[in-house]
Amino acid sequence: MKRISLLSFALAAFTVFALNGSASAAKPVELKISHIATEVDPIHMGWSFFKKTLEEKSGGQIKVTIFSNKVLSNSNNEDVEKVQTNIVQMTSAPTSSLAAIGNIKEYKAFDYAYLFENNDELYKVIDGPVGQELSSRLIQKTGIKALGGYNLGWCVVSTNKGPINSPADLKSQKIRTMSSDLQMEIIRAFGGNPVIVNYGELFTACQQGTVDGMMTSTGLYVSDRFYEVQKYMGATNAIGLLHVPLVNAAFYNGLSPELKKAFDETIPLYLEAVRKYEDDFEAAAIAELKKRGMQVREYTPEEKKAFVDAAAYIMNDKTDIAGKEIIARIKKELGK
């Protein structure tokens, strides 16, 4: 009788252990994403697609939470730092942020004026050997893994001072840029004075006259309502605002083979989706800004040449910013 009782106790204990073990194994992996865009922006639309796709592919074993609209951070750099310390596991950031945080100057190559002519050229480089090598270096230096890229749109310049018909119209104006040497140099080339302002503080800076104008992608003027505090825009399109999706490498490497497979299968689908969201959004942005009252100046090739010529010296005189080798590699890859 005693042996039967002991056996029953052992079976009961094993059952409890097995059930607890199953419950533990079934507990979802939490993946937190932070970004500073609004919920109507393609950045958020892309992450929403990522969340839905990854949760489905993982069978609910990865639970994704998105923190949008500056809830956790006030700048892209702050988001990248949170990924580095695993406070959140993913974000996306411009290449200038990666150059600064990883001390990888080659990422700055994407900010040379008029080096890239279209999205196909941007994606050929960031998806190819150059982008893959930069991602490997980023992992080594920061513990962050880069996952391709997508263009938020081509950067335009705006101001409250008057129409932008030529670079002369920007002379001595205070124009906000990101903390990128080359973006600041573009504004100098156009005759303005570059001013660095955190993106989260930019609307107020325009509103209060701390800056006269700004340079960023067309779509962000719509999603973040900059048309309310900026009157005139020039579609200079000197650079694309390339964003790179990022994941904490230790988090990624810690996923089970099954969950890593689900993650890896989701990334290309996400990139395809967010790139399309951005393309569609930018295509509609100019018309929307005109509808909202902005005076938008688009240029013929002859008119645009004044801006291209004004910035031409940057590629020759400032090659040390990113390095001659990376510029040469990109040109060769693009057949230029």
pLDDT, mean of residues 269-286? 95
249, pLDDT greater than 90 = yes
20, pLDDT greater than 70 = no
Pairing type for strands 240-248 and 90-94 reads antiparallel
Distance from C-alpha of 126 to C-alpha of 106, rounded to nearest angstrom: 12
333, pLDDT greater than 60 = yes
22, pLDDT greater than 70 = no
235, pLDDT greater than 60 = yes
Band the pLDDT of 26: cuts 50, 70, 90: low
13, pLDDT greater than 90 = no
Q: Which residue has better confidence, 20 or 191?
A: 191
Please spell the DSSP secondary structure of 66-103, one letter per residue. Answer: EE-TTSS-SSHHHHHHHHHTTSSSEEEEEHHHHHHHHT
- Model pLDDT, residue 12: 45
5, pLDDT greater than 80 = no
Question: How remote is the C-alpha of 309 from its chain's centroid?
Answer: 28
pLDDT in tens, 177-233: 988 899 999 999 999 999 999 888 999 999 999 999 999 999 889 988 999 999 999
Distance from C-alpha of 39 to C-alpha of 224, rounded to nearest angstrom: 10
Band the pLDDT of 25: cuts 50, 70, 90: low
Query: What type of residue is 26?
Result: A
% of the chain surpassing 90 pLDDT = 86
Distance from C-alpha of 307 to C-alpha of 186, rounded to nearest angstrom: 9
pLDDT in tens, 64-95: 999 999 999 988 999 999 999 999 999 999 99
For residue 242, give the nearest of 88, 131, 85, 138 by alpha carbon.
131
All residues at 6 or more sequence positions from 28 whose CB lies less than 8 Å from its CB, including other chains:
60, 61, 62, 63
Distance from C-alpha of 173 to C-alpha of 270, rounded to nearest angstrom: 39
All residues at 6 or more sequence positions from 172 whose CB lies less than 8 Å from its CB, including other chains:
191, 192, 193
6, pLDDT greater than 60 = no
Cβ atoms of 160 and 133 closer than 8 Å: no
14, pLDDT greater than 80 = no
Looking at every residue in the chain, the average pLDDT score rounds to 92
Band the pLDDT of 10: cuts 50, 70, 90: very low
Q: Which fold has domain 2-334?
A: D-Maltodextrin-Binding Protein; domain 2 (3.40.190)
Cβ atoms of 231 and 77 closer than 8 Å: no
Per-residue H/E/C for 154-220:
EEEEEECCCCCCCHHHHCCCEEEECCCHHHHHHHHHCCCEEEECCHHHHHHHHHHCCCCEEEEEHHH
- Model pLDDT, residue 326: 97
18, pLDDT greater than 70 = no
23, pLDDT greater than 60 = no
Band the pLDDT of 273: cuts 50, 70, 90: very high
pLDDT, mean of residues 27-47? 95
pLDDT in tens, 295-323: 999 999 999 999 999 999 999 999 999 99
- Model pLDDT, residue 247: 98
